[in-house]
Amino acid sequence: MATRLNPYLSFAGDAREAMEFYQRVFGGTLTLNTFGEFGSQDAPGADKIMHAMLETAAGLTLMAADTTRDMADSPGDTMAISLSGDDVDELRGYWNQLSDGGTVSVPLERQMWGDEFGMCADRFGVGWMVDIVAPPE
């Protein structure tokens, strides 16, 4: 898998509605995962979107998630740039450079869904997400 660069949008509770709208606009395959799928199904916000990905035949990829109560939700600050793929050295290299001098909000480490994932704002304040896809077992 080649490394991909795509927008990652944040929503204040309506990520499902927005991504279904974008699917109607662009077509493609939409995958939705809720917070409840990776935690307590009875927790507040369990039905909210932890991760959504729309991939089209034209090669467009759009990702999104709902913010939770413990996450800041600032209109105008609702997008990060996502780098994902399976080239571990390349993606760790990007992470090291982007996070150097910036602010790490989620360290690059193995996550509950199996991938290595991290979030940071670079020294210019640009939000980045890096996801290193777990190798197939």
82-109 tens-digit pLDDT = 989 999 998 999 999 999 999 999 999 9
105-124 tens-digit pLDDT = 999 999 999 999 999 988 87
- Which residues are CB-neighbours of 92 under 8 A, at least 6 positions away? 108, 132
Q: What is the pTM of this model?
A: 0.68
Which ranges in the chain belong to alpha helices (H)? Answer: 15-26, 88-99
Q: How many CA atoms lie within 13 Å of 73's alpha carbon, on the beta-carbon side? A: 12
Ordered structural domains, the chain, with CATH: 1-68 (3.10.180.10), 77-137 (3.10.180.10)
